[in-house]
Each structure stands twice: as C-alpha cells, then as structure tokens.
Homo-oligomer: A and B are copies of this chain.
Amino acid sequence: MTRITSKFQTTHDCADCPIRHRAVCARCEADELAQLEQIKYYRSFEAGQNVVWAGDQMDFVASVVTGIATLSQTMEDGRRQMVGLLLPSDFVGRPGRNNSAYDVVAATDLVMCCFRKNPFENMMLRTPHIGQRLLEMTLDELDAAREWMLLLGRKTAREKIASLLCIIARRDASLQLRQSDGELRFDLPLTREAMSEYLGLTLETVSRQMSSLRKEGLIITEGKRHIIIPDFDSLLEETGDDSDGGFLV
C-alpha cells in the first residue's frame, strides 16, 4: 500500500475520513486507529476485475482511494447499463442491506478503503456526523442519477458523448488541476465499451461519434485514450445542457 501511505501528508478534515477520502491522512489514522483497527482495511483490484457481483453478499461499505469503479446492471439477455461511476472519494455500499444490487467492477486499477458493515453501522449510530455526511453524499448521487436519466432518455448520441467527456474532464480537472491555458487534457479511464454502457449506446456508435467530434476539432486525441479538449465551452455547447447549469448551490 505504498501508494497510499505516500499521501499521509495531505491536509485533511479528519471528521470526514471514514466516508470520504480525499486521501488517507495521518492525523485521522492516529485519532481513530483504535476503533478502526478491526473495521477498516484496503483492497486492490486490477482493471477489469469484479469487486462484487450483483446479488452477492457484500459485508462492507467502501470508498475509492485511487482508480475508477463502475456499478452496472445486467438484463437476462445480457444487455448492460452502467448506473454508477465511482471516482476517488466516492462511496459504495448501502447500510442496511446485505447484498449488492449491482456489479461493481474496477474500470482501471483500483484501490478501495473498506469498512466492515456491522461495525460501520454501529459507528454511524454513535456518530451522527457520519450519517449526515452520508445523507449529503447520497443526495448528490441522486442528483447525478437524475442528470444521467435526462441524458439516457432524451439526448442524442453526440450529446451523450459530449456530456460524458465534459463530466469526466470536469471531475478530473477538479481532482488534478491539469489545465494549461484554456486547454484541458486527460486520459479517458473508460474503454469504448464502458462508455457505451454508460451512455446506453453501442460501442460502434460511441466510436463513430468520437471520430465525428475529432474531425470537427472539438476534441483532439493522442493515441486512443488521451483526450485534449482545446475549448471546453465549445464542447459544452454540444451537450444540450443549459449553459448556466450551476446556479444551484
């Protein structure tokens, strides 16, 4: 776990630690180690590995430390729909339920910080702060899910692709601050297939629309996965979203 311990310096609000890692922090470790010793542990997964399968027992809740995980549902005939995309600091698992309703899959190499479910639930009872934080996060996820429903139900393939690129670019930028002058660059953490599962499209359509955005200069690609967005606002206009989105706080 060297990748994690190397981050112990990060300044960090300890109270948030059990349910939202920005990083794992030294102070928090010291403060809570006693009670957490038996509760908290780390697990690593390789890209493509399942963390749990839909229907399986899931005796832990967890938050993503590094990497990206997805939640997906599968229909009997194999049609799949992604229903959650977990970036670092995001939370999975549902207090008060013992089985996962979804496949949880590592989209990239992945490190998760897990908490055994029962002790975590007890901790929630003793520490209302944690429940409140969890409620806040769940409400955020619900909002994200509702945006996603608009995308799935009403957007064109091109709008879907543009939206996804903007979502990832935005999250990536806020995590890693990689812009240089107006230009945004990042590695797509998803295969074309994973993108198609996110967007409710086939992977061929994803590929075609990516090509089309590339031909029109809205994105530039280096290799298959590295994306450059020369002008974020132009791409935003292709999403069909209200331009002044963030007026809600």
**Interface on A for B, CB 8 Å cutoff?**
55, 71, 73, 75-77, 79-81, 83-84, 94-99, 101-102, 128, 131-132, 134-136, 138-139, 141-143, 145-150, 152-154, 199-200, 240-242, 247-249
Q: Are B83 and A149 in contact (CB under 8 A)?
A: yes
Which of B75, B96, B247 sits near A241, CB closer than 8 Å? B75
Of the residues B96, B135, B150, B248, contact of A138 by C-beta under 8 Å: B135
Contact yes or no, A75 B150, CB < 8 A: yes
The docked-state distance in angstroms from the alpha carbon of A242 to that of B75 is 7
B138:A97 contact, CB within 8 angstroms: no
Residues of B within 8 A of A248 (CB): 55, 97, 99, 101
Beyond contacts A75-B241, A76-B242, A101-B146: 5 other A-B pairs, Cβ-Cβ < 8 A, are A76-B240, A79-B154, A81-B153, A99-B247, A99-B248
Enumerate chain B residues within 8 angstroms of A80, measured Cβ to Cβ.
Answer: 154
Residues of B within 8 A of A242 (CB): 75-76
Q: Could you tell me the distance between the alpha carbons of A200 and B155 in the complex, rounded to whole angstroms?
A: 10
**Which of A135, A143, A240 has most chain B Cβ within 10 Å?**
A135
Query: How many copies are assembled?
Result: 2
Give chain B nearest CB distance to A123 CB in angstroms. Answer: 13
A37 to nearest B CB, angstroms? 26
Q: A132-B131, A135-B134 are in contact. Are A75 and B154 (CB under 8 A)?
A: yes
* Closest CB in chain B relative to A70 CB, distance in Å: 12
Find A152's partner among B132, B141, B152, B241 (CB 8 Å cutoff): B152
Chain B residue with the shortest CB-CB distance to A244: B55
**CA gap between A56 and B84 in the complex, in Å:** 28
Kindly provide the distance from the CB of A212 to the nearest chain B CB, expressed in whole angstroms: 20
Q: Is the CB of A81 within 8 A of B141?
A: no
Task: Judge whether B141 and A142 touch: CB under 8 Å.
Answer: yes
Specify which chain B residues have a CB less than 8 angstroms from the CB of A148 in the assembled complex. 149
Are the CB atoms of B142 and A135 closer together than 8 Å?
Answer: no
Q: Which listed residue, B99, B149, B199, B200, touches A145 by the CB 8 Å rule?
A: B149
A76 to chain B, nearest CB (A): 6
Distance from A77 Cβ to chain B, minimum over Cβ atoms (Å): 8
